[in-house]
């Protein structure tokens, strides 16, 4: 269902990860607007040490599908996921079905690989500040136009080597992220997030509100 919006606050509040897509292809003009938005992102010294690779050929989609299969194997282990039973209609089951559908249909979808040049004077985590805003701009521009998008881990785990070789990304470039994009089958938002009182501290660290919950329910402070 297409729900474009020019309201920046609506865009931010309803930019849910979309994992179910129609079969309608994304036209070049719409995709290019997302890519243009990515180039407007802030980055260190305006050096623009990024390159964005659109993956939409049959050959590259096949590689993406294999990368998704390998990523799913890791995700199932990390989060203790499995395909839900047909008669399970819980929220967790619905979410898991959407995740499995995304991975199952990976070879049918258009996606973008985000790469960043690896410099020698800062950590990769710090350098992420010059590529992740571009990914977020792309993601929000997709939502604004009524597209659905989802950040994936397919360029990580064992899929990184597959995608790097298939695309021909040189070793000095980091595979920083991967985003699937398409027309959503369903509705956008609203996003579900913790209230700001849970996550915003004023001037000092608040140990009482710093617990983190991991996949299996273990807590760490």
Helix runs in 107-158, H state only: 124-127, 132-144
Residue 210 domain flag: no
Residues whose CB is less than 8 angstroms from the CB of residue 190 and which lie 6 or more positions away in sequence, other chains included: 13, 14, 16
Residue 195 placed within a domain: no
With vertex at residue 158, the alpha carbon angle to CA 157 and CA 161, rounded to the nearest 5 degrees, is 110
- Does residue 199 lie within any of the structural domains? no
CATH assignment of the domain containing 14: 3.40.109.10
For residues 160 and 175, what is the distance between their CA atoms, to the nearest angstrom?
Answer: 7
Could you tell me the maximum CA-CA distance found in the chain, to the nearest angstrom? 54
Residue 161 covered by a domain = yes
Residue 122 CA to chain centroid, in angstroms? Answer: 24
For 163-218, the pLDDT digits (tens) are 999 999 999 999 999 999 999 998 998 999 999 999 999 999 999 989 876 544 44
Spatial separation of the C-alpha atoms in residues 73 and 82, rounded to whole Å: 10
The pTM for the full model equals 0.92
pLDDT in tens, 21-70: 999 999 999 999 999 999 999 999 999 999 999 999 999 999 999 999 99
Q: Is residue 215 part of a domain?
A: no
Establish if 141 belongs to a structural domain: yes
Residue 2 included in any domain:
no
Q: Residue 116: which of 126, 131, 136, 129 has the closest Cα?
A: 131
Q: Give the residue from 19, 43, 37 showing the smallest Cα distance to 150.
A: 19
Q: How many domains does the chain have?
A: 1
Quick check: is 221 in a domain? no
Measure the CA–CA gap between 155 and 151, rounded to whole angstroms: 10
- Structural domain including 110 reads 8-189
Between CA 174 and CA 110 the distance in angstroms is 21
């Amino acid at each position: 269902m297409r729900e474009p919006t020019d309201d920046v606050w609506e865009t931010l509040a309803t930019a849910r990860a979309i994992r179910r897509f129609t079969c309608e292809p994304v036209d070049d003009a719409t995709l290019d607007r997302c890519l243009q938005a990515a180039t407007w992102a802030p980055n260190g010294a305006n050096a623009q040490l990024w390159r964005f690779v659109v993956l939409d050929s049959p050959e590259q989609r096949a590689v993406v599908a294999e990368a998704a299969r390998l990523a799913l194997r890791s995700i199932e282990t990390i989060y203790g996921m499995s395909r839900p039973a047909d008669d399970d209609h819980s929220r967790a089951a619905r979410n898991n079905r959407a995740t499995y559908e995304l991975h199952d249909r990976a070879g049918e979808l258009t996606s973008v690989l985000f790469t960043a040049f690896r410099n020698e004077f800062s950590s990769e985590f710090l350098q992420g500040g010059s590529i992740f805003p571009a990914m977020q701009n792309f993601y929000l521009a997709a939502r604004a136009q009524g597209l659905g998008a989802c950040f994936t881990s397919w360029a990580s785990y064992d899929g990184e080597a597959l995608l790097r070789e298939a695309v021909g990304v040189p070793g000095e470039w980091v595979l920083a992220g991967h985003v699937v994009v398409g027309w959503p089958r369903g509705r956008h938002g609203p996003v579900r997030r913790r209230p700001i009182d849970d996550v915003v501290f004023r001037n000092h660290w608040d140990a009482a509100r710093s617990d983190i919950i991991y996949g299996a329910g273990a807590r760490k402070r």
